[in-house]
Structure 1
Amino acid sequence: MKFLRFGPAGAEKPGCLDATGTIRDLSGLIDDFTPETLSCKTLERLKGTDLAALRQVPAGTRIGPCVGAARNFFAVGLNYARHARETNNPEPAEPVLFSKATSCICGPNDPIILPRGSVKTDWEVELGIVIGRVCEHVEEADALSHVAGYCTINDVSERAFQIERGGQWIKGKSAPNFGPIGPWLVTPDEVGDPQDLALTLSVNGEKMQDSSTSDMIFGVATIISYMSRFMRLMPGDIIATGTPEGVGLGFTPPRFLREGDVVELSVAKLGAQRQTVIASGS
Structure 2
Amino acid sequence: MKLASRAADGPDGRLLVVSRDLSRAVEAKAAATMLQALETWSNVEPGLRAQYDALNAGAEPNAAALDPATLAAALPRSHQFLDASAFLAHNHILADAWGYTRRTEADPPLIYQGLSDRFYPAHGEVLFRSEADDIDFEAEFGVILDATPLGVSPSEALRHVRLVVMINDWSLRAFGPAEMKGGFGFLQAKPPSSVSAIAVTPDELGAWRDGRIGLTLRVHRGAALFGAPDGAAMSYGFGDLIAHAAATRDLCPGTLIGSGTVSNFDAEKVGSGCIAERKALDQLAPPTAATSYLRFGETVRMETFDAAGQSVFGAIEQRVARRPASAWRR
TM-score, normalisation: structure 2: 0.77
Residue 68 of structure 1 is aligned with which of 76, 82, 85? 76
| 1:91 aligned residue | 103
- Alpha-carbon deviations, 1:208-264, whole Å to 9, x = none? 222112221111111112211132112111111111342211313452111110100
Is residue 82 from structure 1 mapped to residue 96 from structure 2 by the alignment? no
Q: Which moved more, 1:58-67 or 1:196-205?
A: 58-67
* Structure 1 CA distance for aligned equivalents of residues 198 and 230 of structure 2: 19
* Structure 1 CA distance for aligned equivalents of residues 232 and 12 of structure 2: 37
TM-score, normalisation: structure 1: 0.89
Q: Which runs of 4+ in 1 moved over 4 A?
A: 35-39
Is residue 47 from structure 1 mapped to residue 64 from structure 2 by the alignment? no
| 2:262 aligned residue | 244
**Structure 1: gaps of 5 or more residues:** none
> Is the 8 Å Cα contact of residues 215 and 231 (structure 2) preserved in structure 1?
yes
Paired AA for residue 321 in structure 2: I
- Alpha-carbon deviations, 1:162-201, whole Å to 9, x = none? 223544223211x2xx311122110111123334121121
Is residue 180 from structure 1 mapped to residue 187 from structure 2 by the alignment? no
Is residue 223 from structure 1 mapped to residue 224 from structure 2 by the alignment? no
SS of the equivalent of 1:15 reads strand
The 1:57/1:208 distance shift into structure 2, 3 A limit, reads same
Deviation at 1:102, TM superposition (A): 1.6
The 1:261/1:138 distance shift into structure 2, 3 A limit, reads same
Is residue 270 from structure 1 mapped to residue 271 from structure 2 by the alignment? no
Deviation at 1:22, TM superposition (A): 2.8
SS of the equivalent of 1:249 reads helix
**Structure 2: gaps of 5 or more residues:** 264-271, 283-289, 306-311
| 2:11 aligned residue | 10
> Is the 8 Å Cα contact of residues 110 and 180 (structure 1) preserved in structure 2?
no
| 1:256 aligned residue | 293
> Is the 8 Å Cα contact of residues 209 and 244 (structure 1) preserved in structure 2?
no
The 1:157/1:20 distance shift into structure 2, 3 A limit, reads closer
Deviation at 1:4, TM superposition (A): 0.4
Q: Kindly report the root-mean-square deviation, in angstroms, between the aligned alpha carbons of the 2 structures.
A: 2.3
* Structure 2 CA distance for aligned equivalents of residues 238 and 19 of structure 1: 23
| Structure that is richer in helix per residue | 2
- State how many pairs are aligned: 278
* Structure 2 CA distance for aligned equivalents of residues 46 and 36 of structure 1: 9
| 1:153 aligned residue | 167
* Structure 2 CA distance for aligned equivalents of residues 68 and 104 of structure 1: 6
* Structure 2 CA distance for aligned equivalents of residues 56 and 110 of structure 1: 22
Is residue 196 from structure 1 mapped to residue 214 from structure 2 by the alignment? yes
Q: Which has the higher contact order (CA 8 A, sep 6+)?
A: 1
The 1:35/1:157 distance shift into structure 2, 3 A limit, reads farther
Is residue 106 from structure 1 mapped to residue 143 from structure 2 by the alignment? no
